[in-house]
Amino acid sequence: MTSVKRNSDIISINNFSFYYGLNQVLFDIDLRVVNNEIIAFIGPSGCGKSTLLRSINRMNDLIENTNHEGDIQLIGQSIYTRDLDVIGLRKRVGMIFQKSNPFPKSIYENIVFGLRIAGIKDKEVLDNAVEESLINAALWDEVKDRLHSSALGLSGGQTQRLCIARTIAIKPEIILMDEPCSALDPIAAGKIEETILELKKKFTIIIVTHNMQQASRISDRTAFFYLGKLIECGDTEHIFSNPHEKQTEDYISGRFG
């Protein structure tokens, strides 16, 4: 899968370190993410891949007593400057969580939530956004007859796709996915994977996963983290067949982790 056009860096992470209190969890991470690629973060639990992911849309701001060094840039602009509009940033960088978290509202209201809080009231715009994002998230056929019933009645896989639809309704540039399939059965996970591959045409996707097969199936590039350090990053094919580092090889072949 080397045919991806590597036009420009959409995200560049420069010497990024992160601390919970005095405990350093990320060490000098340097990483580039380019347009319309899927990059997978792999590594054993506690290696800091989720923390890095949550640093990209500043979700870690919610946790008290955290610190960072270095910088993350979104299309050449630092996201850690003082005057940055965090809400604007989160609109540009959407996020899917490990546990699907639909709002206790109707399917329709879940999807238009981001648009409503942005002040959009035009019914036609909202209706179109719902249809478009549900189609993109491959959920339209399953729910088109019950858009106004509660989102809590959907199955696990469906709610995760609803969360994807909710995120893409805001039209972000990048979608962060934090182990989106780990709570799902293989069939539901397969559907999500198909959706992700479809989404690649329009969005840049960063996905954290514990599932090696998943990473190798869907990602263009893979980054391997271990104990807070970025060990290796390269084309997925290369990482899985012929990694440079021994740690990477050990992890991928299942010798630890």
Contact yes or no for 63/9 (Cβ under 8 A):
no
User: Does residue 101 touch another protein according to CB under 8 A?
Assistant: yes
| Cβ at position 97, least distance to another protein in Å | 6
The residue whose two tokens read 């896989």 is: 157
3, 23, 62, 186: residue in contact with another protein (rule CB under 8 A) = 62
Of 38, 95, 184, 189, which lies in the binding site for another protein, with binding defined by CB under 8 A? 95
What are residue 20's DSSP bridge partners? 23, 66
Cα-Cα end-to-end distance for the chain: 26
In DSSP terms, 223 is beta-bridged to: 41, 233
CA distance 91 to 87: 6
**Which of the residues 145 through 164 are near another protein (CB under 8 A)?**
150-152, 154, 159, 163
What minimum distance in Å lies between the beta carbon of 121 and another protein?
A: 15
> What are the DSSP calls for 213-248, one per residue?
HHHHHH-SEEEEEETTEEEEEEEHHHHHHS-SSHHH
113 binds another protein (CB under 8 A): yes
Residue 103 contacts another protein per CB under 8 A: yes
- Closest approach, Cβ 28 to another protein, in A, equals 27
Alpha carbon separation from 142 to 5, 87, 154, 161, 197 (Å, rounded):
34, 32, 10, 11, 19
Select 88 or 254, whichever has its Cβ closest to another protein: 88
* Under rule CB under 8 A, residue 104 binds another protein: yes
Residues near another protein (CB under 8 A): 57, 59, 62, 64, 87-88, 90-91, 94-95, 97, 99-104, 113-114, 117-118, 150-152, 154, 159, 163, 166-167, 170
